[in-house]
Every structure is written in structure tokens, then in C-alpha cells.
Amino acid sequence: MDYKSAGVDVEAGRAFVQRIKESVEATHRSEVVGGLGGFGGMIRLPDGMRQPLLVSGTDGVGTKLELAQDHRAHHGVGIDLVAMCVNDVITSGAAPLFFLDYMATGALSPDAMAEVVVGIADGCRASGCALLGGETAEMPGFYPAGRYDLAGFCVAVVEESEVIDGNRIQPGDAVIGVASSGVHSNGFSLVRNVLEKAGADASTRYGPSQRSLIGDLLQPTELYPALVQALLKNNIPLNGMAHITGGGLPENLPRCLPEGCQARLTPDSWPRPALFDWLQNAGEIPEKDLWNTFNLGIGFCLVLPPASINRALAICQDTGHQAWTIGSIEASQADEGLLGLPA
């Protein structure tokens, strides 16, 4: 008996590393020291920073992986993995610096794994961070053959004096909502149950335009780092930011607010994508649960003074993002949660 007969193919693993090397090294910033294959990735801090503060975040893709693997859509979940991490750390005003990935599988499938890594690399390039390293673990008997799980870890950097932590938010500030690309990577345990209940498959179409249901559900999570950097470079006074993930707007927007402030939304200020209407109708999901599970078309929020709304909206448009003024900040004496939601 040898390692290969036990389910771990070391030679295939080495070949896989060589296969992904070009995609990984294409993400490297000038600060990266060395190449792929060492025991640890090395990177310098960007020049010119006075008091650099490192901001870290880690996340996964969740059960969206199950749907993606059922439909052999591997590239998109690589982008999802990056987005779920970088969209968190940029809420502090930090710029993504480097990314690490972890892939675990029952049996190495080089084609599928390579697609995932190319997706991760594409997400890193779009976010301005280096894919500095990773781990691919072949774990026969623990994961089913052909199945894999993903985890990511991102480090970003910001001048300590320029950290955005929500403390500057005050009553009268506006809330801008930036469009999501769809469901993103949260709520898929509910999504998969709705699909099963409705008997939906790869041929299912929905909405007035008869779009592919599975195709839209598997759209990669939108990346917001380039937008945030464009806003900061144009001196837009961002007082707070929120990445709208699990728990939707009610859970995530209040996370960036200081004590004494609360947000009031105007739910009809942006168009709800038809994808969420289909999920609600097919799954008979109550309105409250819909709000507390999905992003409903808003993937990222900006809190800023009302005088900066028009400039911020113009930059959103210039960087390819739809955005709307969706609410405002009010004074609060008690924690009432997010105001203005449908009953």
C-alpha cells in the first residue's frame, strides 16, 4: 500500500501547483518578495506609509459551493471567496494587500481546482491584492470524491489616522446603497431548499426577461475595493461603510453606526431584483425573513454627509456600479434596529 492507493496523489498535487503558477504570480504586486512554492509568502508594506495599520478578515463561500459544484461552475466561487473577504476589510478604508486561500477536497480534481484558483486570482487582481499563497488539502474519506470546501484570508492596510470606524457618523448623514450582483454568497441553505421545493433545475427561467435562474444565482459576489479606493482618492468624506452579507441590511448596516445613531431606510428607493421576487414566491418566504436573509439588491452601503451624495453617486456610476440614496441617519435614544422596513 502507498499514499496514492490511500487516496492522496502527491504527483498530481505537484502538477497542480505548476498549472496554477502563472495565474497566481500574475496577481503579485511590486511589494511581493519571492514566488510561489516557498513555505511562507513574503510581502513588504507599501512605501510612504507613516503608521500603517493592518486589517485582516477571513471567510468562506458557504453552501453556495454545493450548488456551484452541482452545476460545475467553479470559476465564480473563486471570485466569491475573495469578495467575501475583501469587501469586509475595505469597510475600514483599508486597501487589500494580500490574500491566502485554503481548499480541501476528497480527491483532487485538477480541472475544477484550477478553475477555482483562476477565479481567486481574477478576484485578487480586480481588488488590487496579491494572491500570496495557499493550501490544497486532499482528504479522502473526510470529503466525498469530487467535492471541495474553500476558505480565504485577506490582509489590507490603511494609515492609522485615516481609519473609517463609523465614529464620524452623525444624524443627517445619508446612506447610499450600492447594487449587488444578485444573492452573493449568503442565504444559500434557504435558496437550495426553495430550488428543491420548486423543482427548479438548469433549464428553469424566471422573470419578465426569462433569465437563467441557476445562472443568476451563481453570479459571483460583486467586488467593491476599486469603488472604495476611487471614492477615497476623490476625497469623498466616507463616515462609515457596511458590507451587506448574512442577515441582510437589518443585521449589517447597524454594525457601522456609533451609539446614539440609527438608520432609516426608504425601501422603495431602489428596484428589488426579480430574482428575490422569484425566491420569495417559490419558497413562500415571509417579507421579514426575506429582509433578514438576503441583500435584496444592495451589496454595500456608504454613509456620508448629504452634500457629498451627488459626487459619490457619480463616482459609483463611473466605476460601473449602480447606486441609490436609500436612507438617512437619525438620532436614537435606544437600540431600535433598522427603521423604515416593511411590517
**Residue 121: what residue type?**
A
Predicted confidence at residue 20, as pLDDT, reads: 81
Question: Helix (H, G, I), strand (E, B), or coil: what is residue 159?
Answer: strand
Domains of the chain as residue ranges with CATH: 10-162 (3.30.1330.10), 174-331 (3.90.650.10)
What's the rounded mean pLDDT across residues 305-325?
98
Residue 84, pLDDT > 80, answer yes
Angle between helices 225-233 and 110-127 (to 10 degrees): 10
Residues 46 and 128 sit within 8 Å (Cβ to Cβ): no
Please report the sign of the dihedral spanned by the C-alpha atoms of residue 23, residue 24, residue 25, residue 27: positive
- Residue 333: pLDDT over 90: no
DSSP state of 50: S
pLDDT (0 to 100) of residue 21: 82
pLDDT > 90 fraction of the chain, expressed in percent and rounded: 86
User: What local confidence, expressed as pLDDT, does residue 262 receive?
Assistant: 96
Q: With 70 as the cut, is the pLDDT of residue 278 above it?
A: yes
* DSSP annotation string for 89-157: HGGGTPEEEEEEEEEEESS--HHHHHHHHHHHHHHHHHHT-EEEEEEEEE-BTTB-TT-EEEEEEEEEE
**What is the mean pLDDT of the segment spanning 175-202?**
98
pLDDT tens string 221-272: 999 999 999 999 999 999 999 999 999 999 999 999 999 999 999 999 999 9
pLDDT of 26-57, one tens digit each? 899 999 998 877 889 999 999 999 999 999 99
CA 177 → CA 243, 296, 297, distances in Å? 10, 11, 9
Whole-prediction pTM: 0.95
6 pLDDT above the threshold of 70: no
Is residue 291 a contact partner of residue 249, using CB atoms and an 8 Å limit?
Answer: yes
CB 74 within 8 A of CB 109: no
Contact (CB, 8 A) for 147 and 107: no
CA torsion sign for 205, 211, 212, 215 is negative
